[in-house]
Amino acid sequence: MQIENLPERWRRRIVVADTSFFFRGEDLGPCWNWQGWNNGGSGHGKTRVGGKAVYIYRAVRIFFGLPMPGVGDHLCENPPCCNPRHVEPVTIGENTRRGNAVLFQPVDPEEAARMQQWREDWGY
């Protein structure tokens, strides 16, 4: 999976980071930072394939013949990255658990006790 094998229209919108990303002791190479269109909110890059808007990380994985079921979890935690070695296909639930969703953040024990008291007071 070499960046040189990607279509020119994608390559010219990618800036390769200076440093490699290591995950569980394995060198997964540098981030391929997408400089083109993105979705605005989270910074995930987008492109058009067959007239349809798709995330660039998904398009790159499919281009290289890699499976892309579910959603992509950026192991490098860099949303513009489209290096296929940095993106792992996972379920939406798993991606949420791995991320920084407020729903899964630890709760202060005192705050948890106040919330429980509130539920009991209001019959929840």
For range 51-75, the mean pLDDT: 91
List the chain domain ranges: 3-121
Structure tokens at 15: 């800036």
CA proximity to 69, closest of 43, 46, 92, 102 = 92
pLDDT at 98: 82
What are residue 95's phi and psi, to 5 degrees?
-60, -40
* pTM for this predicted structure: 0.72
pLDDT at 113: 78
Q: Is 33 helix (H, G, I), strand (E, B) or coil?
A: strand
Neighbours of 70 (CB within 10 A): 14
Cα 69 to Cα 8, 65, 72, 103, 123, distances in angstroms: 26, 12, 8, 24, 42
pLDDT at 105 over 70: no
pLDDT at 104 over 60: no
- Tell which wins on pLDDT, 41 or 27: 27
